[in-house]
Structure formats: C-alpha cells, structure tokens
Amino acid sequence: MAFDTLCVKKMVSELLEKLSDARIDKIYQPEKDELLFAVRTKTETLHLVLSASANNARIHFTDKLKENPLTAPMFCMLLRKHLTGGRITAIIQPEYERIIEFEIETRNELGDLTKKHLIVEITGRNSNIILTNADYKIIDSIKRVDFTQSSVRQILPNLQYLLPPKQDKIPILSDKIGSIVFDFSAEGKKPENVIMDAVSGISPLTAREIVFSVLGTNSLLLSEISEENKQKLTDFVRNFAKNTDFAPCILFDGSGKPAEFSAIAIFQYGKSYDTVFYNSMSEVIDVFYRRRDELDRIRQKSSAITKLLKNNIERCAKKLSIQQKTLKDAENKEKYKIYGDLVTANIYKISKGDTAVILENYYEDGSPSVKIELMSNLSPSQNAQRYYKLYSKLKNAEIEVKRQIDTTLSDLEYFESTLALTENLTSEADINAVKSELSELGYIKRQKSAKRQKTVQAKPLHFVSSDGFDIYVGKNNTQNDYLTLKFANSADLWFHTKQIHGSHTVIKLGVEKNIPDRTVLEAAQLSAYYSKARESSQVPVDYTQIKNVKKPNGAKPGMVIYDNYNTLYVTPKSPEELGLITS
C-alpha cells in the first residue's frame, strides 16, 4: 500500500497525456496538507488532488470535491497569486524519485512571462508540496521544515530547493539496474528483503511480487533457494523495467475494503483478495484513498468528541456504582426506625452512659432479642432520636438517589448512543453538528468569537433501494430527531436496532404504500450497519410506522420510545455491499 516509483511513473504519463499545455484555473485548499487544482484543457476542466498527508500522500484526478473553508489558508492564497492562469509546460519525475514536478509558465505583476516549479514530494511522513521560482529558490511550502525538524534538509522560504538525500541503492527504473548484483550471503533473510536493500523505488508489495513471479511463493528463506533461482531473481530484476506492463489495480479484502493498490498486476495473494483492475493509476488512487482519507481525517477531528464521550461514560459508570451502593444501604432504613421505637418503648431500662442494650424485638415473630448500640454520651431519648434521624436521612436519600439513578442512566444511555453514532460521521459538518448538540446540553463550553462563522449544515445519509424507494439514515442524534419527528410522515417505516445504540433509519413511502420485502430487508441491514453492532451477525432490528414512535417529554436528542413493532434478524451490510445508489 505504497505510492512507489512505479505508481509515480504511471501517474506522470497520465498527467502528461491530460494536462499538456493546460491552464490552472482555480486553486483550493480543503485540508491543511491538501490542495485541489481546477485545470482547464482545450476540451474540459479537470480537478487534480495534491496531498502531502503523512499517511495518505498522493496525486490524482477526482470528481468528488470536498467542502472548502470560507477563508482560504495562506499557502493557498500564495499559490493563487503565483499560479492562477499559469500554463503547465512540463511534468517530470526527477531522478526516478517519488516526486512529481510541474513546470508552470505564468506572468508576474508586470506582465512578464516567468517560470515557477510546483514540486509534489510523495515520500510518506516527509511528504510536501513546494513552490519555487525558475532557479529553484523556495517561495514557500505547505509544510515548512526547519533545523529542529531536520538537520539534513530544510524547506523554508528563500532557501535553495534540493532533492531528498539519495540512498545507496539503484532505482528500479534506472538504466543501471541492468548491472545490479545482490548479496545473497545472509541465508536467514527473505529474498524480498535482499531486493529492497539494493533497489530503490519499489514497495514491499512489489518486492514480494517479484519473488512470487520467479519462485511461485513468498515463504522461502535464502538458504532454501537454489543458486539457479537466485540467478533467475537477479535476471528478473535486471529486466523488470523492460518487461513489466502497467496494470493499475486494487486488492479488496473479504469485507470489500481496499487493502492494497499497485501499478502492476498482483498475484501473490491468490484468492485471499479480490483484484479489480482499473483504466488508470489516477482512478486507482482516487478510489483507494478517498474512503481511507475520509475515515482518517474524520477520526482525527472527532477524537476530542470521542474522548469527551468516553470520559463521561466512565464518570457516569462510577457515579452509578456509588448511587447503587447508597440505594442498597438505604434498604436498612426500617431497621433504624425499629431501633428508635424499641429504645423509646424501653427508655426506663436504659441509663445515660450505656453503650448497648439488649431488647425484645416485638416487630418480629417470636420477639427475638436484638442488641442495639448506644452512644454513651447521649441520653436514652437522644439515642432514640439519633436512630429516627438515621431512618429519616436514609429514607430521603433513597428517594433522591432513585431520581439520581434515573438521571445517570439517562445520561449514560445518551453518551453511549452518541459515541456509537460517531462511527457514522462522514464530514466536518457532521462533527460540528455533534459539537453543537453537546454544547447545547452543556457538555462542551461554547467558543467565544468576535464573529459568528457560517457553518455548513450536515445532511442525513440518503440511499435509493433496489426497488427505487428512498431510505434515509441519521448520522447523529439531531439528524435522528429530524428524520423521525419532522421529516417522516406518519405511515413511513422506521427502523432501529433492538436495544443497541445506532441510527434512526426511515423508508419514505411516497405515493407507493406497498413496500417490497427486499427494500425492508435492505433498510434493516443498513440500520444494523450504522449501529454499534456493525461487526456482528444476526442483529435484531425493530421496525414500525412512524406514528408508533414517540419522544418522551424532556428526553435528550435522539431518544425515543416505540410500540407495535416487528423484528428482523439481519447481518449488517454497507451500501456498497448492497449495491445501493447514494445521492
């Protein structure tokens, strides 16, 4: 799962084919380490993603556009100043590195033609996007690197741009690869490690595929490989660039999630993965990273909410434990009232200074003897009053703690439900909606700001079933309330996992009132997928008409009660697995 030299070479050829002599029309920066260029050719406008993300660095065309901040970041403004309207005159891969360099011809403030270089380094955690002038003097970069971050190579304005330090290896695409010699002396090593020690520009996946292509397996150590096969490995690598055809592909695991991608065909996994081939490297990267990148960024941005919810769940659990202990202690309250009554009835038998008295308990059958502890510094009457006060205190505590337990259980239910729904967040607008909800309830302090910023309203998920019915799924408590209490009509069908935290799911009936069983099943499977039981099987999902769903007075967002329902047991399935149209 690496953007290696082979991917870069294939990507450069695709960029040259589509962007030769194209002009940069618009520039956006939807993320702090990601750019989106709208590039105009003679026939169309293409959108190019340039990402310097430490985990998901890449470059590719896309038709899925992200929300942009209302105020453009400084680096974006700088690029707009220098590159808007510029013509792309060259696209190269310097020295077979994981780098793509754009040469752009543009005009300065005086109208004179100048050249700029936009350099995209796709080098893992050190990935960067750098703008230089014609002489490769750095104008600025999306990530500045000073001496404290790297003593070898700084990326700062006005410094000379230098390529990353070279490794003592031969690039897989270089002409020198034809003379490579491998050190097969370390017999405990695996052959792919020997290849990666000597060759640059290939990922572990490609190195393993080379070994598999020659030996038919990846399980052998060097000590288990014949001299003849070692020579075959050497010859294969020497001729790799000449004999290998590009075949961009993605390997999907059993659940349909993308696990690996490659610029060449991958056969080493056999039937363990499903291999899907695509028409271009750009399409592979777009498909692979889009979902992975979304999940990573949403996870990062929602981490504070997740932590807050987990802390509150832990706090509620501790509070509930204390309250339940208090309630259990209050079960002894009647004993103290009886002690008070017995002391009062036998007050003539007790003297001040007594520490205990044994009396007949006439409240129980047979009037058994009971030992009652006394305070020696109190009179008999005062000792009786002390037990009455203990009884009264526990009686009041029992009433209060029952109310507190109800509140704590309600809070715990809300926090656990909201935490389960954080798995469904798909955009920054979704995160802001949850933050707003928590703020309204007082769990997050409101941010004070001079100006009220505009926010994009998050929308529920919308799918079209196999039979053409609209299915909506709430991504947070606010959306759940909106779908159930405002959006849906009384006859629409409502779904929710039985006693499991999850999203509200609604099938809109429209004119057609008879819903096919297949649509009902798909809605139930979606409801289970967007719940805490996503990884389970045979998940119970209740469904009923909206008119049977009610929200109790004072209930927190997303909390409802319902009756007159049916239950389906289903295995959760994603929209992709169900083949549903998403709008």
Domain boundaries, given as residue ranges, for the chain = 5-141, 170-299, 308-421, 461-582
Rounded to the nearest angstrom, the gap between the alpha carbon of residue 419 and the centroid of all alpha carbons in its chain is 13
Specify the pLDDT at position 450: 41
Residue 125 token pair: 């955690």
CATH topology of domain 5-141: ibrinogen binding protein from staphylococcus aureus fold (2.30.310)
Specify the pLDDT at position 447: 59
Specify the pLDDT at position 242: 86
How many Å is the maximal CA-CA distance in the chain? 114
What are the φ and ψ backbone dihedral angles of 428, each rounded to 5 degrees?
-65, -30
Task: Give the global pTM.
Answer: 0.58
Q: Report how far residue 346's alpha carbon sits from residue 185's, in angstroms, rounded to the nearest whole number.
A: 99
CB 265 within 8 A of CB 249: yes
CA-nearest of 317, 546, 298 to 434 is 298
Q: What is the DSSP letter of 30?
A: E
Q: Report how far residue 455's alpha carbon sits from residue 195's, in angstroms, rounded to the nearest whole number.
A: 52
Specify the pLDDT at position 59: 96
Q: Report how far residue 36's alpha carbon sits from residue 59's, in angstroms, rounded to the nearest whole number.
A: 10
Helix (H, G, I), strand (E, B) or coil at 339: helix
CA-nearest of 476, 525, 521 to 503 is 476
> With a cut of 50, which residues of the chain have pLDDT below it?
450-453
Kindly give the pairing relationship between strand 170-171 and strand 199-200: parallel
Rounded to the nearest angstrom, the gap between the alpha carbon of residue 556 and the centroid of all alpha carbons in its chain is 25
Q: What is the DSSP letter of 141?
A: E
Q: Report how far residue 372's alpha carbon sits from residue 231's, in angstroms, rounded to the nearest whole number.
A: 95
CB 180 within 8 A of CB 212: no
CA-nearest of 205, 188, 187 to 196 is 205
Q: Report how far residue 527's alpha carbon sits from residue 200's, in angstroms, rounded to the nearest whole number.
A: 47
Query: What single string gives the DSSP state of each residue in 422-454?
Result: GGG--SHHHHHHHHHHHHHTTSSPPPP-SS---
CB 161 within 8 A of CB 130: yes
